[in-house]
Amino acid sequence: MSQKLSRLLHSIYPQPDLLARLRQLLPQEAPPSQSTTGQRWDQSTAILITYADTVTAPEEPALAVLHRFLSQDYGTVPLPILHVLPFLRSFSDRGFAVCDHTRLEPHFGDWHHLRELAHGRRLMADLVVNHVSASHPWVQQFRRGLEPGSSMVLAPADLQGWDHVVRPRSSVLFTLMDTHQGLRPVWTTFGPDQVDLDWGRLEVLESFAQLMRAYVDHGVDWVRLDAVGFLWKDPDTTCLHRPKTRILVQALRLLLEQYTGNGVLLTETNVPEEENLSYLRSGDQAHIAYNFPLPPLLLEAILSNSCDLINRWLVRWPRLPQGSTMLNFTASHDGVGLRPAEGLISPERLHNLLMRCEERGGLVSHRTEADGSLSPYELNIAWWSAMAGPATTPRRLQLERFLASQLLVMALPGVPAFYLPTLLAAGNDHPTYCKTGCRRDLNRTRFDLQALRRDLEDTDSPAAVIRILMAHVLGIRARLSAFHPEAPMALLSPERNDMVILQRGHRDDPGAVWVVQSFREEAVELNLSLLAPQHNGCWRDRLSQRTIDSRRLALSPYEVLWLQAV
């Protein structure tokens, strides 16, 4: 393996001691064998996304509280993979400006608490590979001219040739930093406190490989590469998805697979669809990529009362190499990205979507284009608030819209992922936003454990209803092989604007499932003979367990059926 890595990385690190240094990164023994199924995922695989301190209790480490809550209060919901958002010590950006790679945030707990959290579940963690906080020791060493930090910070000697850089922020690209040599410009893609690293230095790769090894030693085997598309910078380019970035992704995947036989590498690239999929196409970069077009398209379909755009998108679902798949989701710790919807939603429909979200208390974030103009980059809104009706009747059909959105996430090829505040029916957190001024904080609600337990004990509360229904549906999904992440899908509704109809699994397979999902606020009718013309018998809805023996079926607003031929 060291020889393979050396050949792969020689174009980036031509130093003569490359092979010897790579050998130091590899384990002495072969990694544990892959799971007994020989697969990294199946139809029971589902992810819960949360911050370490989404649920808190006085005087307790946040990771211990989270462990107790998930085991005692949310244990009925089968979510076997837990993505704990950045937990290392950080100065800003809610964990994404890491200032110490060796210690956790003190109020989260320590490495022992992380290992305890891994009992009975698989953990997923972030490698924030593009940058570190300005308070990180590497940056402080850079300022004083000390190694290794002096060589690890990206500080270009020439500020010319960067006019075409594409990035998601309107802050300055270069930040002046006071150093032992005077003021020096350093690259800051995401803001002044997030200083970019120079991946042309082998020390950077070595440091992140060691961190990934520490993750694995404490129960992590799914690793998310945060903002990885920005990793390598070449002048006179957009500095996105450069060839050497792809080489580094390949190298990190090989290293992860050496550390754990069950390793899964995910790339987070919130960019137009084909750019995002490019990390899967070759079969040797990411195992999973985030399905970023899904949230804006699904949100637009629900709020416009028309699913024509999402049907047009679904009809050209990508064919991916075996062992690769998508991560499907509606909400996350970030907002709803709009760049992935470029070319998929017309300017007029996009404008209407932004207006409807603002009517529901959301905000719009912008990025700076190459010509200096601003364009919408992200919708900041809690998904539960986005599912509300018009101002006159906000609660009408809110739960139905919400559940329909989560059920589509479960029906598509790929691995479904769910954000904990979304499952807890958290609305827009305007008080926190008013304190911090960070628009993303609208969707980063924290919960007191005791208050949350009281809410879940109220069987009429949205959070309690969602918990029961999610446990029910995920349990059913885990028993249906047609929902394997790599099982085939056919779209049967390409021209419809009232419903999405999917066939999962092969038509002749007795385990095939037909997903029928209404996107209307009023009842709609479906001729069931359109699903499988050769089938003359009954249908069974696996969600409700009812048998349907009529040819025509009326669907209630936002109703969802998972049908199997009887």
| Structure confidence at residue 368 (pLDDT) | 77
What is the predicted pLDDT for the residue at 160? 93
The answer to whether residues 323 and 287 touch, using CB atoms and an 8 Å cutoff, is yes
The per-residue pLDDT of the chain, averaged, comes to 95
Q: Any residues with CB less than 8 A from the CB of 528 and at least 6 apart, and which?
A: 539, 548, 550, 551, 552, 553, 563
Give Rg (Cα) of the chain: 24
Quick: pLDDT tens for 510-548: 999 999 999 999 999 999 998 998 888 899 999 999 999
CATH 3.40.190.10 fits 489-565, yes or no: no
Contact 335, 380 (CB under 8 A): yes
Look at residue 38 in the predicted model and tell me its pLDDT.
55
| pLDDT reported for residue 333 | 95
Return the residue matching tokens 């103009």. 373
370 sits in the region (left: phi over 0; alpha: psi -120 to 50; else beta) called alpha
Report how far apart the first and last C-alpha atoms of the chain are (Å, whole number). 51
Per residue in 173-221, pLDDT (tens digit) is: 999 999 999 999 999 999 999 999 999 999 999 999 999 999 999 999 9
State the catalytic residues: 226
Q: What is the largest CA-CA distance in the chain?
A: 81
* Residues making up the binding site: 93, 131, 224-226, 333-334, 440
Please state the domain extents for the chain. Answer: 81-268, 489-565
Burial class (CB in 10 A: 0-12, 13-18, 19+), 391: exposed
Question: Locate tokens 């509704």: which residue?
Answer: 493
Rounded Cα distance, 169 and 188, in Å:
10
Residues tagged in the binding site annotation for substrate: 93, 131, 224-226, 333-334, 440
Q: How far is CA 309 from CA 33, 300, 302, 436, 496, in A?
A: 43, 8, 11, 36, 10
Nearest to 267 by CA among 244, 290, 283, 245: 290
Rounded average pLDDT per 10-residue block, the chain, 566 residues: 93 95 89 60 98 97 98 97 98 94 97 97 98 98 97 94 89 95 96 97 98 97 97 97 98 96 95 95 97 98 98 97 97 95 96 97 87 88 96 93 98 98 98 96 97 98 98 98 98 97 93 98 94 90 95 95 96
SS3 call for 469: helix
Q: What was the pLDDT predicted at 430?
A: 97
Q: What are the pLDDT digits (tens) for 417-468? A: 999 999 999 999 999 999 999 999 999 999 999 999 999 999 999 999 999 9
3-state helix, strand, coil in the chain (%, to 5): 35, 20, 45
CATH class, range 81-268: alpha beta
* Confidence (pTM): 0.96
Please name the residue that has the structure tokens 């990180």. Answer: 136
| Residue 8 · residue 247 · CB < 8 Å | yes
